[in-house]
Amino acid sequence: MGTIITVTSGKGGVGKSTTTANVAVGLAQAGKRVVAVDFDIGLRNLDMILGLENRIVYDSIDVMEGRCNLSQALISDKRDKNLYFLPASQTKDKSALQKEKVRELLETLKKDFDYIVIDSPAGIESGFENSIFLADEALIIATPDVSSVRDADRVIGIIDAKSEKAKEGKEVKKRVVINRIKPEMVESGEMMSVDDVLNILAIPLIGVIPEDKKIISATNLGEPIIYDKNSLAGEAYRRLSRRILGEDLEFLELKAKKGFLGIIKGLFS
Ligand SMILES: Nc1ncnc2c1ncn2[C@@H]1O[C@H](COP(=O)(O)OP(=O)(O)OP(=O)(O)O)[C@@H](O)[C@H]1O
Ligand SMILES: [Mg+2]
């Protein structure tokens, strides 16, 4: 049986879809059979990040409402034979998902895939609940700012209340990914550090992703940054994926690039 990993955050725009795409590719590159599932009904963009938007014919709502079967809706990624994608509907609103239909769909996917990586919508409404209730693991994405960390904390507090695992007396494995770290701002005290965030959230860290302009161009090209061997964010996502598989890897050392003033200061310190 496969493992369901739900990518969630509370706050919007912090990197859920980017992380879902990169983790799905990373796990597939490690030889696992993976499906990335977009549960952000109505606002899908995982398809764009994966570069698969032109291949969509059917979506998960079509499967759940019987207009097609699952294999008609699943899109296989030509770059990696282990990777599949199940799109969200763009036209239907979030309330289109029904819990029992979602259960049927996810239980079928669990039989066929090693990992089901779910991209969830922002917020803690029904779309979030549908994304989390069958999760085995959750990746909580936070950016190093007060509002994102507060929302992440709130989400961590309600995951178990919404999960079926918790009803059976088990816990959803919850780990945090800190995204968009800018080392120079952390060093100058303008941005929360990784430790500041962890002190508030009090769950284990599984990834630290630096701010990287290449992520924006990667999204426009439909090539997740993890494919870019020269990008620091790509390396951070490679390590994150391997940690999910149980490897104990060091976190990247993110240091501020020294400008002229920084070099002069360094000489006299
Ligand atoms: N580490 C990063 N460096 C630079 N840009 C990033 C980084 N992570 C995400 N972004 C950019 O931030 C924006 C939001 O990212 P993304 O769509 O993954 O967030 P989201 O949490 O899925 O948003 P929503 O809640 O709207 O679904 C995108 O333009 C993305 O390219
Ligand atoms: Mg998103």
132 has a pLDDT exceeding 60: yes
Which ligand 1 atom sits closest to the C-alpha of 43?
Answer: 27
Q: Give per-residue pLDDT as tens, 140-176.
A: 999 999 999 999 999 999 999 999 998 899 999 999 9
The pTM score is: 0.95
C-alpha closest to that of 207 among 252, 241, 247, 177: 177
Return the percentage of the chain with pLDDT > 90, whole number: 85
Q: What is the mean pLDDT of residues 80-96?
A: 86
Residue 49 Cα, ligand 1 centroid: separation in angstroms? 10
Which ligand 1 atom sits closest to the C-alpha of 11?
Answer: 25
Q: Per-residue confidence at 96, pLDDT binned at 50, 70, 90? A: confident
Ion ligand 2: protein residues whose beta carbon lies under 5 Å: 16-17
Alpha-carbon distance of 263 to 258, in angstroms, equals 6
Q: Per-residue confidence at 269, pLDDT binned at 50, 70, 90? A: very low
Ligand 1 atom 15, closest CA = 15
| CA dihedral sign of residues 27, 33, 39, 45 | positive
CB of 238 closer than 8 Å to CB of 226: yes
217 has a pLDDT exceeding 80: yes
219 has a pLDDT exceeding 50: yes
Q: What is the mean pLDDT of residues 19-32?
A: 98
What is the set of domains in the chain, with CATH numbers? 3-268 (3.40.50.300)
Residue 120 Cα, ligand 2 centroid: separation in angstroms? 7
